[in-house]
Amino acid sequence: MNVRAWLAGLSARERNLVYLAAALLAAALVYLLLVMPLNGMHRRLESRVERKSGDLAWMRQVAPQVTAAAAAGTAPASTESLVVLVDRSARAAGLGAAVRDQSPSGARGLRLRLEGAPFDVLVAWLASLREQYGVEVESASVDSTPTPGLVNASITLTHPGSAG
C-alpha cells in the first residue's frame, strides 16, 4: 500500500494530525542535525578566540621585556653542530621523547617537529638555547593538543656558529 492511498483513506482530521507530526519530526531533525552541531562549533570557536585574545594580551605585555632582552645581545655562538646541540639540550630539558623529526634548513638552520611537548618546558628550552648558545628561533608554529599544557610544535632554529 503506498502512502498516498493510505493518506486518502484517512479522515481529514487524521490527515492533518499526520501532516503535523511530519512537520514536527522534520523540525526536530533540522534542529538535531544542523542547529545543535553549529551551536557547539560556535561555542568552541568563541572559546578559542578568548584563549587567543588572552595569549595576545600576554604577548603584548611581555613584548617590551623581549625587545629589551634582544637589544642586550645574545650569547656567543657555540661551535657545536646545531643538530647535536639541539638533541643534547632537548634531552637535558626533558623534551627528548617529544622530538619527532629534525631536518636541515639552509646552511645554518634546523627544522624540528615536537609532539606532545609541555609548553612551559618548550619555551624555557628555547630561551636557554638563545641565552646559552646564541640559537635563534627563525619561525615557530605551536598547536594545542587535547591534553592541557601539551603542544605540538614546528620550529625552525638558526645557529650562527655552525652549519646544520
Q: In whole numbers, what is the pLDDT of the chain averaged over residues?
A: 88
- Helix (H) and strand (E) counts in the chain: 5, 4
pLDDT interval class at 67 (50, 70, 90): confident
The answer to whether 98 and 114 have CB atoms below 8 angstroms apart is yes
Which comes out higher in pLDDT, residue 34 or 64? 34
pLDDT at 75 over 60: no
Which helix (H) or strand (E) segment is 115 a member of?
Answer: strand 109-118
pLDDT at 74 over 60: no
pLDDT at 72 over 70: no
- pTM here is 0.52
State the Cα–Cα distance between residues 105 and 128, nearest whole angstrom: 21
State the Cα–Cα distance between residues 46 and 120, nearest whole angstrom: 24
pLDDT for 47 equals: 94
